[in-house]
Amino acid sequence: MPTSLRSSALRPPLTLRLAAFATQCKPRVNSLIVFTAMIGMFLAVPGWPPGGLMFAATLGIALVAGAAAAINCLVERTIDSRMARTRGRALPLGLISPAETLGLACLTGGAGLWLLNVAVNPLTMWLTLATFLGYAIVYTVILKPATPMNIVIGGASGAMPPVLGWAAMTDSIGMPALALFLIIFLWTPPHFWALACYRREEYARAGLPMLPVSHGVPLTCLHILLYTVLLAAVSYLPVTLGMSGGIYVGLVSLLNLGYLREAWSLWRNYSDAKARHAFRYSLIYLTGLFAALFLDRLL
């Protein structure tokens, strides 16, 4: 927090500081994370999952995911202050102090883990803790500043939520849950690299070795295309495993055609506008794929 804001007279009021903390939990990113966890819960059991168990699991996962995002904001507060996209976050603006962020993240994360342990099962609690550490420590502290492959390895944490949802309902990790893990795991690099392409100058200024910064845009676009082809192939695993049928195949095929077109066009003839479009499409793709899994099960 800037020195001028340290004196209590100049500190933002408590409600504003709590609201500032909530924005650091990255609610928009985490709403999709939690959605994929909930679909994992639906697919794990025949019929509708037990309401109380589903509520506790969803709340627990959301609290821990929010705490992980807040720790990411805490660790990266100096880097965030150097990039246009992130300099309006609560810590660079001094709306909340690092100590308050740490304290509230421990509270929310601790509450989430406790809830998972007592109201869901210890397996889900341990897997969620590992996911938290994977993102907040392994990705944020170790990999992100060190290697352009940060996202490939770090993406494993982002791919965990359907596995967490599955474990919450079954107290086990099934093959179908691993198929959903693989889908998000292969989706994450093209999702992030599209954004990293059109934000490459900011990442370079911040000293972060993202793939378009270290190896250039053409090679990054080739990687985006290759990952998208792999993703399209793996997106049919739920059918091979007997989890989904015709409705899913139809919807996911449309989504795949759209994503392959985005990736192909980006590779053939790059522009920042196309990369922005491909990033937005990545969000439609993953939301659509998980909605298709749900619809296929429902209908």
Please say which residue, 278 or 286, places its beta carbon nearer to ligand HEM.
286
Taking alpha carbons only, the member of 287, 297, 296, 291 closest to residue 259 is 287
Which of ligand HEM, ligand FPP, none does residue 64 bind (CB under 5 to 8 Å by kind)?
Answer: ligand FPP
131 binds ligand FPP (CB under 6 A): yes
Tell me the residue ranges of DSSP E strands in the chain. Answer: none
Which of ligand FPP, ligand HEM, none does residue 76 bind (CB under 5 to 8 Å by kind)?
Answer: ligand FPP
202 binds ligand FPP (CB under 6 A): no
Q: What is the number of other CB atoms lying within 10 angstroms of the CB of residue 162?
A: 29
What type of residue sits at position 162?
P
Residue 168's SS3 state is helix
| Helix (H) or strand (E) segment spanning residue 81 | none
Instruction: Using CB under 6 A, pick the residue from 4, 28, 47, 175 that binds ligand HEM.
Output: 28
Q: How far apart are CA 239 and CA 250, in angstroms?
A: 11
Residue the block writes with tokens 């920042």: 272
DSSP secondary structure letter of residue 5: G
Which of ligand FPP, ligand HEM, none does residue 36 bind (CB under 5 to 8 Å by kind)?
Answer: ligand HEM
Please say whether the dihedral angle defined by the alpha carbons of residues 25, 29, 30 and 31, taken in this order, is positive or negative. positive
Tokens (6 digits) for 286: 């993953």
Instruction: Using CB under 6 A, pick the residue from 21, 35, 42, 132 that binds ligand FPP.
Output: 132
Binding window for ligand FPP (CB under 6 A); candidates: 63-71, 173-181, 229-237, 257-265: 63-71
Instruction: Give the binding site for ligand FPP (CB under 6 A).
Output: 26, 29, 33, 61, 64-65, 68-69, 72, 76, 86, 128, 131-132, 135, 144, 157-158, 161
**In the complex, which residues of this chain contact ligand HEM (CB under 6 A)?**
28-29, 32-33, 36, 85, 139, 151, 154-155, 158, 184, 188, 191-192, 195, 283, 286
